[in-house]
Amino acid sequence: MQFILYIIAYPFLWCVSMLPFPVFYLLSDCIYFIVYHVIGYRKKTVRKNLADTLPHLSEQERRRIERKFFQHMCDMFLEMVKTMTISEAEMKKRFVFTNIELVQEMEKKNKSIIMMCAHYASWEWLIIIDKYINFRTFAVYKKIQNKYFDKLIRDIRSRFNSTVIEAKETVDGIRRNEINNVKGFYGFASDQSPQLHRTNYFDTFMGINVPVFTGAEMLAKKLDLSLVFVKVQKVKRGHYQATFVPLSENPKEIPNYEITSTYLRMVEAQIYEAPEFYLWTHKRWKHRDKQSDRSPRIKKALT
């Protein structure tokens, strides 16, 4: 059944990827109408997330953000499909790095780099960074159940020579690269919700106390890697720009979780600036205020 779904979907996706951009975004508008107005995909989750995190806004303002978010989400999905056939030149024109020289200077210190980003604006098109730097690029991702679509996602994300690495293999993969003197540039989207039983740290995110992923920071400390944050902005439809912000080149010198907390503050600032471009469909705040249930584990992690 998985294969049948794949062979039915793949020709359609490939044809969509070949559409000229005006027609491409017209299709996105049609999909938006179906997803938002007909199906109502995760509309309750989005509405609750917006109400919980943006209580200072009126309901009318939040509904406006909600509609803009669903329009952007449909664009994002189709832009991922577009990556199947988009040229390198076209991608570079549509996804611009404002200060790539910051990463290039960090490379000269011969230390691998972890890039922390958020599910904001376009994280999929960050893969074009491979064409600007010398280090090997690695995109950390979570495997999906359908093995055929999983391979398609991996193929899309490795289109411009990035290597896709499954989340559970990240630690061993980076350690192996360091032993073999393979310098890497690793992309981590660390703003979603970790499993509660694996949580070591809670912090406020958008005003709510939640469990937080700390893997990027802890790996950087353990293996002496540099850390940067990338702020992605949507300039206009189909056009983005990304700006790098240094987090630390010597993470071992910084108290535990301070880097993660700084990262969260940067993500919050992004969201408050233009909330319609954040990924609101995930239940990011489902474990809110459960820190007391995890306090023994957290204490142990901090000692």
CA–CA separation, 233 and 135 (whole Å): 24
The pLDDT value recorded for residue 1 is 76
**Rg of the Cα trace of the chain?**
20
Q: In the chain, pLDDT over 90 holds for what percent of residues?
A: 83
Q: Alpha carbon 302 to chain centroid distance?
A: 27
Give 293's pLDDT tier (boundaries 50, 70, 90): low
Average pLDDT over residues 15-29: 97
Give yes or no for residue 300 having a pLDDT over 50.
no
Angle between helices 59-82 and 21-32 (to 10 degrees): 130
* Mean pLDDT, the chain, integer: 93
The pLDDT value recorded for residue 294 is 54
Q: Smallest Cα–Cα separation from 104: which of 217, 216, 183?
A: 183
Task: Classify residue 8 by burial, with Cβ atoms within 10 Å: 0-12, 13-18, 19+.
Answer: exposed
CA–CA separation, 45 and 112 (whole Å): 38
List the single range of 132-146, 152-166, 228-242, 283-297 with lowest mean pLDDT: 283-297
Residue 288 near residue 209, CB atoms below 8 Å = yes
**235: CB partners within 8 A, 6+ apart:** 241
The pLDDT value recorded for residue 276 is 98
Positive or negative torsion for Cα 256, 168, 210, 248? positive
